[in-house]
Amino acid sequence: MLDKISIEGTDETDSSFLKKWLSDPEALLAFPSTCEKEVDAIVNTWMAYSKLGLGFTALLHGEPIAMMVLYLCPFETLKHQSEFSIIVNKSYRNNGVGSELIDFASCFAKEAAKVEWLYLSVYQGNPAINLYRRKGFEEFGRQKDWIKHDGITRDRILMQRKL
């Protein structure tokens, strides 16, 4: 575990860190972006939800090291559930940062947003799937050959956790 991290609401200044992390070729294990235009689309969507108070940034010594966003739906019939995305700067992976950020956001989702179920999708081969399982997420579906890059396909694994 790292020194004490703080978790704050994501703001516009965090977007440059998000873009840098998503632009790393290793990010293709978790996000489907292969060019700057696609990375920008993810960043713009992430920041739009963050402006609604649904994005969180983990900071170490004041510098962003991870982010998470809840995609809370505005429809009353769907507000009890939310999908989310998370990204951890590769220099800080496997140090408990993702786990702490998921715990924080789960508590926020349950208490402040009254979310009952959290969902995520993870691509086959993404090492973060082990983190999600440890945090109580269970696979409930799989889409074969969901993503295709350089002729290689990977499944999309759908996971859920009751809060």
| CA–CA gap between residue 4 and residue 95 (Å, rounded) | 11
Task: Please check whether residue 163 is in contact with residue 117, taking contact to mean a CB–CB distance below 8 angstroms.
Answer: yes
**Does any domain span residue 115?**
yes
**Does any domain span residue 143?**
yes
- Residue 2's pLDDT is 62
Q: pTM for this one? A: 0.92
| CA–CA gap between residue 142 and residue 149 (Å, rounded) | 18
pLDDT tens by residue, the chain, 163 residues: 567 899 999 999 999 999 999 999 888 778 888 899 999 999 999 999 999 999 999 999 999 999 999 999 989 999 999 999 999 999 999 999 999 999 999 999 999 999 999 999 999 999 999 999 999 999 999 999 999 988 999 999 999 999 9
- Residue 117's pLDDT is 97
CATH number where 145 lies: 3.40.630.30
**Does any domain span residue 51?**
yes
Task: Please check whether residue 84 is in contact with residue 113, taking contact to mean a CB–CB distance below 8 angstroms.
Answer: no
**Does any domain span residue 101?**
yes
Domain containing 92 equals 6-162
Number of separate domains in the chain: 1
